Structures are given as structure tokens and as C-alpha cells.
Structure 1
């Protein structure tokens, strides 16, 4: 397509601006984005390709060699699966695409805006999407070891609190045990299904299950924050019941979010060719990120509220209430970073440019179960007291039998 425009500057000189748009020339011009070395054969690069028309701009007579301010050009992508755009122009001397004097101003899935300080034949070169190398032996070994250790610690935490249940019975203990179960399920589904992309229906089911179980983990944090806030507000009132909040808020509300997401999207965006997770292209990922961020903000607000309550209760020396609030506060301060940060990082799991996040993600997963086991079992004074009470009860029972 050819366009021509005449204009006058300084009331004296007439200029002619000419624009030619070349469609579908990717098979004619090679995808070479560097100068060929001397003596080498002219070959196309398999790592980049044209992703839009070639735009030729020319002004006669020439204004200046270097444009200031630079010209802005917007290219619409023909292939929305390509990534890492580069604003380039065709270098006739040598026959290759160069990006000298051009830069990417902004880009998204549909278009890229370039800035160039000269006029010539412009185009966008982009790379095929490459899934991060999750098949590497090092990463797989690290993932299995870290999640395996975390799972063992979570099972141990469940076992200890289950054994000492009659001495540790409380809403906080129920929340902890529900969290352990949710994390174990998350680990199992994640390891077994995150890469099962060969069957689209199965991949959709796995993505929906991961969406649900991850939301459960965050909703359990929300329930913990509500439980802590209620402890502060009703500190001088009878014990409140959290069972219904635990069932409805932590297990049923996430299911409602997943069902609504499936209905609205008609399952599109739940899994793709790269990974069985929520699509970032369609914005479906916000069905997980949005609720997660709201939970984190709410719980940070609860932490501030509780800090004020602790300082206030110290002044009145209400020891029993203070210890109760401190227990909930300590629990949430451990829970929020340990469970929140890894799954937020998991959003970026599939991007090759952010492949290092996979290693951070795997390491933090290993810390989840270990941290919960350490603070809720090994370093928890209530668990130690409960264990001693159980031993005393067994000793007393043996003494009665011997008599």
C-alpha cells in the first residue's frame, strides 16, 4: 500500500512524505538480526521472525539525518504468540536487520510502539515463546526434594496436633490443620498436573483444581486474619465460634470463584499449550491474583490493628487477653509471608525470561512446611505444655493401674 503527502515548512520549501506498507514479506526478507560474519553463508535466524508489515518512510528533500524528536511508529502484531519485540530497520549494506537508533517505547500482546531517530524501512522482529526449561534435572530434583521435605513437615504437624488434639483444641489449631491439608493437596496437584498439557480437558481440570486449592490457601489466611481481628474486638467477651467461617469462607467461597470464572470464560484460559494454569493473555490470572492481593492487604491491616491492641493491653496488664492476641498475631505473621509469597511468584512460573523464579519458587515451597512445623510444633510453648500434660496423664493412668 502506497501513500503520499505534500506539506510546506517555513512557507518556502515543499516536502513530500512517502509511505509504503509491505504486507507478507517474511518469506522474502531473511530474519537475520545481526551482521553476517565475513565468509559465512547467508542464513536466516530461527530465533527471531518478522511479526508485522514492513513500513518504508521517506521525506524528500531529506530533513535531517538524525530526527529530534524521534518518530513514533506503531506496529500491530500478526502473531500474538511471539515475545520479546525488537524495533529494527533493514540495513541494505550487508543485508540484515539492525536496531541502531530504534527502541521499543511500549508493547503488549497486540502491538508494539517504536521510537526511531531516522527514516528508512522499519519492522518488528520477535522471538517464539519458549517455555522455561522445567525439564532440567537440577530443577526437577530441587522441586521434588523441597516439596518432599515440606510435605513431610506438614504431615508431621498434622500428626502432632492430631495426637495432642484434646489439649490443643482451638479455632487456631483447626485453621492450622486445614492449612496443612490444603498445602499438601496443592503440592500433589501441582507436581502431578502442572505440565499435563497433552490432554486439553485434563489440563483444564487441573488448572481449575489448582486455582481452587491456591484460593483455599489464601482464604485460610483470610480466616486467620478475621479470627485475630475478632479476638481483639471481643477480647473481654465469651469465646466466639469460627467453624462456620472456616467452612464457608475457606472452602466454599473459593469454589464459587472458580465456578463463576469457568462459566464466564467457558473454560477458555484454564490451561494452554505451555502449562496447566490460568491464562495471562486473557486476564484470567486476575481471578487468582485479585483475591490473593485483597487477602494480603486485609491481613496487613489486621496486623496493624493487633499491634495497637497489644500496646493498649500492655498498659492495662490484661495478661490472659494479651497472650491470646499474641498467639494469633504470631500465627498470622508466620502464615502471611510463608504461604503468600511462593504462590504470587508462581504466577510467573512459565516465562523463560523469569526462569530463575522457578528455583526461588521451589526453595520457598520447601520452606513452607518446614517453617510451619518449626513455629507451630518445635518452638510452640503450647505444644510443649500439651505434650507434658499428655505424659502426666499417661503416667497417672499407669500409676492407678499398678495400684
Structure 2
């Protein structure tokens, strides 16, 4: 068996590749001949080498201490006595295995799914309850400022009505952990309430006007109190941030990562799990305080009907506008602004009144009635 092979050699002095030939001069050393007539020689110890692993069809490369470099044109020869050669050969062989490639692809997909489905939410829950209060206040203050300055307007509710709602909230819902209530005209938010990590609940005039009783408002506040107790907004924001980290790991794009958490808390819908937890918290609290949970279901149904009516009106308006002859650039701009507005509304809707949630309230009410009989 030949104890020498042809390679590509970079001598570390000039960048031009040179044809060369290497051979074993001893169990711990190789000899390399290079130059036009292979007239130049160098000797290298295996201990002075760094093996760069191959990938796919690429062959191995050896980096040397004097900035020289050896590029092989085939797998490492049997006589080449580099320490981890066997491991590298096994890896390169596996890389060329179709079955392993398929298995690796399935494994990566399954791992990413598990990470998104369970890993990131579990980590977000852990971190959310480990963050100190001053961190929560700082994050929440940023979100509060954004909502007040960009999403809402000053409230037009009478001061007496606001004071009454606050008093009822403190007496019934707070249970020793009162949040700061802020009343605002909804503007982009519409009929809505938002719970923020700095122990703040923003409630809009439109939501209060939509309610038919104080009990319905208390039901909404109990729901938002559940979000605060469980730190849902922070968990949601951290989950969104975790998705961003996963995206960065795959793409390398880390722009605006550190400033994205407040926006993530505002810009992402609560998961169905979080909504269910907040609903259940509100129902149990209302039951303890002897407030009929039917009030909460009635409000959800009314909110659902209101949203459906608004969507129908918006569809009619868009259809009417499309029939008019307008400047194409202006029409496109208006459509873009409208789409942006609707996207914000969809993102900020923290409690979509779905039939599933309404049914959950009805089922809870029946269970409690059967217990008291």
C-alpha cells in the first residue's frame, strides 16, 4: 500500500495553492513535499495539527501552526495517524447515509415542534415567575406608555362612574392584590381591557358602555385579574421572544431583539390556554363573591355580536369604496392603513368572545348549581 498521497498545500506565505505530496516519516510525524518539482520539504507533528471536519462531499482539511494548510482530495488515508480520525470517518460516513439524513430531518422537525409546543412555554412560565418586581414594572411601564400614547385617548367617563367602578373592583375583585385601573377611550383598542405586567389594567370607555350592568364589568375585571395573577402577558411576550431567539439561531438575524419584548406582549394574542385559565379564575372568583357567572357569559355574547356587526359593516364599507373611482395610489395607501389598523385590533383583542368560552361559562354555572342543590 502506498504511504504517500497527493494533496493541495498552502505554505502560509503566499495564498496560492500548490500541488504537494505527503507521506508518513514516523508514527508521530509526516513529511510534505511541495513546489513545482516537489523540491521543498516540511515536517509536521500530528500534535501540531487541527483537523477541520468535512461536511457532505467536502473532504477534510488540516490547519497547521505556521498558518500552513493541507486540503485532502479524498478521505484520510489509513496510515495517517491523527488521533480522532476514526471518529471523523464515522461522522463523514453517516453524513452520506440517506437513511440518517431522513432520520436527522425528522428528528430536527420533531425537536423544533416540541420546543415550540412545550419547551418555550415552560421556560416562559418559569422565567415570568422568577423575574423581580422592578423588572416587571419597567417592562409594564413601557407597554403602558405605548398603549396610552399610540392606541387610546383620554377617557370621557364621568369621574363619579370611574370612582364607583374602582370601589367595586377593590371590594370584590382585588382580594388584597389591587391593580391600578386606568380608564381610556378605546380608539384603536375599541371595547377592550388589557392587563399589563406592572399590575395595571387598562379598560376602555367602549367596553363599559357595552356592559349592561356593574356585574358584567366586574366579570371582565376578574378575567383581567386572572391574567395578572398568572402573569400571562409576560409569559406571552417571553414566548414570542423565545420564538425570535429560535429564528435567530436558524437565520443569524438578531436585529431589535432586546427591544422586542414590550411589543411582543402587546402584539400577540393570548393563547387559548391562557384565556381558559383567566376565564376559570374569573368564574371561581365571581362564584366566591356570589356574583352570577351568567353576567360574564352575557357580556361575552354581546361582545361577540358587536365584533361580528363591526366586521360586517367594515366589509360593506370596503365593498362600497372599491366601487368608487379613486386614485389608485391613494386607494392603495388607504387600504394599507386599514389593514394595519385591523391587524392591530386583532392583535390586541385579549378576549375574543368565542362560542367555546361562552359554553365554558354555561357549563361552570350548571356545575355550581348542581353542587348547591
TM-score range, shorter chain: under 0.3
TM-score (norm 2): 0.23
Tell me the TM-score normalised to structure 1 length: 0.22
Larger radius of gyration: 2
